[in-house]
Structure 1
Amino acid sequence: MTGYGAFVKKEFMEFYRSHKLLIILAVFLLLGMMNPLTAKITPQLVENFMPEGMIVNLGEPTALDSWMQFYKNVPQLGLVVLVILFSGMMSQEYSKGTLINMLTKGLARRSVILSKLTVALVMWTAAYVICTGISWAYTAYFWKGEILHDLFSAAVLVWIYGILLLAVGLFGSVLCKNAYGNLLITGGFVGVQFLLNIIPDAIKYNPLALVSRNMELIEGSLKFEELLFPIAVSAGLAIAFVIAACAVFNRKTL
């Protein structure tokens, strides 16, 4: 495990030096603040920009509106930033040729893949916890006393889906020698899930439910048990993609 630990340390240092750490934290920090603030001021903005004499009654914003913004912005913006930041996990190593010396000195190829995955998971978890924590704190401050159900469960679903995207990205990064190919693979993977939603029998297994049905869970119209199939499929796919990444990298010529 010495080689694994050393490579993890190297990856963290490179993530810091390339300013990716600053970018991911800044983006998710901004998203965390933006969700409740957007929900709070939207009615006022609409009222101010409406033509004189026209009246639109949007009603008072609620905590539910804040979390609605959260589950719109984080999957659409946050996960896109996450995928882009980690799209070059292996392509930089290929282009610089830095892995050749390390592998000839005895570093296991499996350790390279697991190190990349570890750093990605830690960064994603830290950024997402910050984002969720800030959104929760602001929402609790603006809408004191409002009780919502399954907030934690709904938040965990997005975290799981982020892990799945990182696993797909890792596989794509091993398979392709540039970040663009990796982005195409990840984008294609998500696109297939949208197409699967057309098939009624496939909906209850589709991992896309983890980022599209969160509000139903919070509103109480959906039970957490109904999402166990998408969770299991997501976990299985994530493990399969990591195993596939290790298998492909073991046979890959550097």
Structure 2
Amino acid sequence: MSQWFTLINKEFMEMARNYKWIWIPVSFILLGVMDPLTTYYMPQILDSVGGLPEGAVIEIPTPSANEVFIMSLGEYQTIGILIIALSSMGVVAGERKSGVAQMILVKPVSYISYLSSKWASAVILIMVSLFFGLLASWYYTGVLFNFIPFGDFMSAFSLYGIWITLVVTIVIFCSSVFIQPGAAGAVSLAIVIIINLIGSTFSHLMQWSPTQLLQYATEVLVLDTWPDNIWFAIGITFLLIIILLACAVAVFKNKELAD
């Protein structure tokens, strides 16, 4: 166990040297505050750009606080996932390419400890960033519109965080399969996009799908109730995370032994 914590500490120090502890949380916070600010100041923005004909009046209905917060969740579903892929695609592939992975694995370090430490450190970084990003969105939504109950905020964060953990796991899996970080990032993004397309297209048949967790998070915010299939979707998501981690270890070990 001490070896695993040593590896975790190494990953945290590497993230600090690459300024990931700064630019990723800042990026997530900017994503979080973007929708509340732009939605609230949209009339002023339209007036300042002068894009309306003289005498034209456009009445924009004021959205509810829940709708504004849900828009922020949508930002993480697009730009946020791209940031995750770019920041994590070289976690394993980069060290394989540079030879650092071989140097570490020469020592009595197990493949499970090596990969699980990288996965855990990446998840911690992204979860901290996501929490502060959504917290900033919750705060500005409350100041400019109305405050959402903090319990509902935590429920939405927890549900969406489970989905984001699966996304991080997919990126780590691809990073352990491909030696080129760019290939790992591209394939992981393609997998997430395909999963989202399938889940949204067949949502009525795949209510257990991990892609439904965002929809369930919005239902918790809007309806203040937990959908019937939510625990099934959570269970499937955790099962996929475990399977992907096990496959990552097996594939990475075989590739290293072959090399």
Query: Is TM more than 0.5 here?
Result: yes
How many residues align? The count is 254
In the alignment, the residues of structure 2 paired with residue 164 and residue 102 of structure 1 have an alpha-carbon distance, to the nearest angstrom, of 26
In the alignment, the residues of structure 2 paired with residue 200 and residue 33 of structure 1 have an alpha-carbon distance, to the nearest angstrom, of 29
Matched, 1:22 2:22: yes
Matched, 1:228 2:237: no
Alpha-carbon distance change, 136 to 201 in structure 1, aligned in 2, over 3 angstroms: closer
| Secondary structure at 1:202 match in 2 | coil
> Quick one: which of 241, 244, 249 aligns to 1:241?
244
Match of 1:44 in 2: 44
> Quick one: which of 90, 93, 105 aligns to 1:88?
90
In the alignment, the residues of structure 1 paired with residue 192 and residue 5 of structure 2 have an alpha-carbon distance, to the nearest angstrom, of 32
Fraction of identical pairs, as percent: 23
Match of 1:187 in 2: 189
Aligned residue type for 1:21: W
Aligned residue type for 1:150: D
Aligned residue type for 1:204: Q
Alpha-carbon distance change, 74 to 242 in structure 1, aligned in 2, over 3 angstroms: same
Alpha-carbon distance change, 200 to 210 in structure 1, aligned in 2, over 3 angstroms: closer
Cα deviation, residue 29, structure 1: 1.9
Matched, 1:251 2:254: yes
Match of 1:166 in 2: 168
In the alignment, the residues of structure 2 paired with residue 245 and residue 146 of structure 1 have an alpha-carbon distance, to the nearest angstrom, of 39
In the alignment, the residues of structure 1 paired with residue 140 and residue 82 of structure 2 have an alpha-carbon distance, to the nearest angstrom, of 24
Matched, 1:79 2:72: no
Match of 1:151 in 2: 153
Alpha-carbon distance change, 70 to 104 in structure 1, aligned in 2, over 3 angstroms: same
> Quick one: which of 111, 124, 127 aligns to 1:125?
127
Match of 2:9 in 1: 9
In the alignment, the residues of structure 2 paired with residue 196 and residue 134 of structure 1 have an alpha-carbon distance, to the nearest angstrom, of 29
In the alignment, the residues of structure 2 paired with residue 40 and residue 86 of structure 1 have an alpha-carbon distance, to the nearest angstrom, of 34
Alpha-carbon distance change, 174 to 38 in structure 1, aligned in 2, over 3 angstroms: same
CA contact under 8 A between 1:149 and 1:218: conserved in structure 2? Answer: no
Matched, 1:210 2:213: yes
CA contact under 8 A between 1:36 and 1:66: conserved in structure 2? Answer: yes
Moved more, 158-167 or 71-80: 71-80
In the alignment, the residues of structure 1 paired with residue 175 and residue 217 of structure 2 have an alpha-carbon distance, to the nearest angstrom, of 29
In the alignment, the residues of structure 1 paired with residue 189 and residue 90 of structure 2 have an alpha-carbon distance, to the nearest angstrom, of 15
| Secondary structure at 2:104 match in 1 | helix
Moved more, 109-118 or 206-215: 206-215
Alpha-carbon distance change, 218 to 8 in structure 1, aligned in 2, over 3 angstroms: same
| Residue deviations 1:138-168 (CA, integer Å, cap 9, x gap) | 2222234666983332222221111001111
Aligned residue type for 2:125: M
Cα deviation, residue 228, structure 1: 2.5
| Secondary structure at 1:252 match in 2 | helix
In the alignment, the residues of structure 2 paired with residue 201 and residue 126 of structure 1 have an alpha-carbon distance, to the nearest angstrom, of 32
Alpha-carbon distance change, 149 to 233 in structure 1, aligned in 2, over 3 angstroms: same
Q: CA RMSD in A?
A: 2.3
Cα deviation, residue 214, structure 1: 3.4
In the alignment, the residues of structure 2 paired with residue 18 and residue 65 of structure 1 have an alpha-carbon distance, to the nearest angstrom, of 35
Uncovered stretches (5+) of structure 2, i.e. residues with no partner:
none
In the alignment, the residues of structure 2 paired with residue 243 and residue 29 of structure 1 have an alpha-carbon distance, to the nearest angstrom, of 33
Uncovered stretches (5+) of structure 1, i.e. residues with no partner:
none
In the alignment, the residues of structure 2 paired with residue 170 and residue 64 of structure 1 have an alpha-carbon distance, to the nearest angstrom, of 33
In the alignment, the residues of structure 1 paired with residue 121 and residue 170 of structure 2 have an alpha-carbon distance, to the nearest angstrom, of 15
In the alignment, the residues of structure 2 paired with residue 148 and residue 115 of structure 1 have an alpha-carbon distance, to the nearest angstrom, of 31
Cα deviation, residue 185, structure 1: 2.7
